[in-house]
Structures are given as structure tokens and as C-alpha cells.
Amino acid sequence: MFATTRLICRRIHGTGDVTVPKLSGFSIISPKYLPVRPNIQKASENDWRSKSRRLWRSREQEMFATTRLIGRRIHGTSDVTVPKLSGFSIVSPKHVAVEYADGTKFKFSSEFLRVNSPAADGKVRSIGGDKVISGRRYVGIMSAEPVGNYGVRLVFDDLHRTGIYPWDYFYELGSNKFGLMRNYIKTLQKHHLSREPPPRRK
């Protein structure tokens, strides 16, 4: 294992062996990142924290770019000009209300937001080239966590919590809500699936 690791280092740097400082710390700051901090005297604690924040911002920006791409695919056009957000609220575990500065208001069901989550989901079924999420008619929203100044992470009671919804994405979903829901139902019918959750095993 040690020899393999040194070989990887040589391939990364394109040189011979790399002198590695002694390890002084290891921590899991989230389920997604495993930072390792070498014992370098010149690096201060503030530098380390700054790098961690930049890593998080980079991840959030990547998710934001992915979501905008999804929005463009929904509309089949270039970026949509979205007015500034003026209000967001969870009306109930089943509904979310979003309002924009131009007076536009949207109300979304938790089911609609769940099946249109911008995040990859292990519970998505791939059938005949279609990615389908079924059985979410009664899914609820447990909480909403702000993500920077541009969106929110919705946590659903089916344990899905990786979907980050930028305010632009809510606007794009709302502008095409009925068409998206109609296509979703057609896809379920095509594959003989249902919005109803499967019966519980006794």
C-alpha cells in the first residue's frame, strides 16, 4: 500500500519521490469531504479555515451551475431573466410558496419539488432511458436550510436531503409547472407506475 501511494504521488507531480511533512491533524467536516492538514508551520489556522470555506463555495457553485443547466433544458432556451426573490415560506409540510419582486407568485407541492430535485438520487429508477421517481404523492418537507444567498436545501421525509434549489430554479419550475407535472404523470403511466406509495410489508 505504501509503495502504491508513493507511485501515485510520483504520477501526480511528474517527478520523483515527494517529501511529505508529518501529519498533525485529520477531521471529517462533512459526509462529503475529508480534509487532511499537514504539519506546515507557515500555514495558520485562518488559512486552513479560509481554504475550507473556498472548498464549500466551490461545491455550492458547482451545484448552482448544474441547476441552471437543468433549467435551460426545461425551457429549451438560454438563461431566463429572473426577478429578485421577495418571499419564501413553507406553508405546510406539503406546500412551499415563493414570491418575486415583480409580483410573480408560485405555490409548489412537496411532491412536485421532490420529483424535480436537481440532485442525483439513489431512489431514481432508470426505465427505458427515462429516470423516474414514483410513489411520492404524500412526501413531506421536514426543513429548509439556507444555502448562501441564492437558494435553499430542502430536506424531505423520505430522507432525501441533497437537493439544493436556487431561487432561479424555483422561478423556472414555476413558469413551466403544469407542463412538467403533466409529463411526469405521463411517464409514470407509460411505465405502469403510480404516484401512490407502495403498500407497506406486513
126 contact partners, CB below 8 Å, separation of at least 6: 132
Query: For every one of its 202 residues, what pLDDT tens digit does the chain have, with 9 covering 90 and above?
Result: 445 445 444 444 455 555 656 666 655 554 444 444 444 444 566 676 666 666 656 555 554 444 444 444 444 444 567 899 999 999 999 999 999 999 999 999 999 999 999 886 656 666 766 778 899 999 999 999 999 988 999 999 998 998 999 999 999 999 999 999 999 999 999 999 999 998 877 6
C-alpha dihedral over 43, 45, 47, 53, to 10 degrees?
Answer: 150
- The reply to whether 72 falls in a domain is yes
Distance CA 202, CA 200 (A): 6
DSSP β-bridge partners for residue 143: 155
36 contact partners, CB below 8 Å, separation of at least 6: 23, 25, 26
- The reply to whether 103 falls in a domain is yes
Residue 146's pLDDT is 93
Residue 69's pLDDT is 46
- The reply to whether 93 falls in a domain is yes
C-alpha cell at 41: 508551520
Half-sphere CA count of 130, side-chain side, radius 13 A: 17
- The reply to whether 132 falls in a domain is no
- The reply to whether 31 falls in a domain is no
- The reply to whether 37 falls in a domain is no
Q: What is the pLDDT of residues 93-117, one digit of tens each?
A: 999 999 999 999 999 999 999 999 9
Dihedral angle sign, alpha carbons of residues 112, 118, 122, 127 = positive
- The reply to whether 78 falls in a domain is yes
- The reply to whether 38 falls in a domain is no
Residue 108: give its domain's CATH number.
3.30.2020.30
Residue 131's pLDDT is 76
Residue 127's pLDDT is 72
Number of domains in the chain: 1
Q: Can you give the residue range of the structural domain that contains 117?
A: 54-123+137-175
Residue 94's pLDDT is 94
Residue 51's pLDDT is 64
